[in-house]
Amino acid sequence: MSLAFSPEALQQIEAIRGRYPNAQAACLPVLHLAQDEFGYVSDETIDLVANVLALSPAHVWGVVTFYTMYHRHPTGKHVLMVCTNVSCMLRGGYDVLHAIEARLGCKAGENSADGEFTIVEEECLAACADAPCLIAGEQYFLRLTPDTALRALDEIKKMPPDHKTHPLKEAGH
């Protein structure tokens, strides 16, 4: 069976397309919509987005593989974006990342065995003044230590799953 957008998603794509001067500019929000619709961005999803926007699959592939916000494989219920850029690194970002990996029994780029979490090592989360940090859904966890990061995991586990919504959809854009 071939992958297809739902009628609702096609309506949203038309609305998105109308807000941008060309299909390339609409690619990022349409990819977010596709990820929300299908859970992750598979090769088939890349082809579908390229077809719907009349772009080359190579262009869409380049966008998907450049940005860490697009998931190429199914994710856990909660995606943990852990910053290891220079500010976070200098203040213990790798210690935080390693503590999370040890607790969850998986490495950055992997899902926990229980399907609850996916760890993503991020280059920058724009919270340098409050380093080290991680983001889960829309929740920032700042000035982390390995201990506070592990306590944050308990808090995150109680949150609703975060990988099916995107701010563009939430705001009605």
Convert the pLDDT of each residue in 133-151 to its tens digit.
999 988 999 999 999 999 9
Tell me if 1 is assigned to some domain: no
From residue 144, how far is each of 19, 43, 148, 157, 165 by CA, in Å? 39, 36, 6, 17, 26
Do 83 and 142 lie in one domain? The reply is yes
Q: Are strands 78-83 and 139-141 parallel, antiparallel or unpaired?
A: unpaired
The phi and psi torsions of 2 (rounded to 5 degrees) equal: -80, 145
Do 153 and 84 lie in one domain? The reply is yes
Mean pLDDT of the chain: 90
Do 82 and 131 lie in one domain? The reply is yes
Range of the domain at 37: 7-66
Residue 98 makes CB contacts below 8 A (sequence gap 6+) with: 146
**CATH code, domain carrying 39:** 1.10.10
Q: Are strands 78-83 and 117-122 parallel, antiparallel or unpaired?
A: parallel
Do 102 and 47 lie in one domain? The reply is no
pLDDT tens digits, 49-97: 999 999 999 999 999 999 888 999 999 999 999 999 999 999 999 999 9
Whether the ω angle into residue 21 lies within 30 degrees of 0, i.e. cis, is no
Tell me if 168 is assigned to some domain: no
Residue identified by tokens 């990820």 is: 35
Percentage of the chain lying above the pLDDT 90 cut: 84
Domain count, the chain: 2
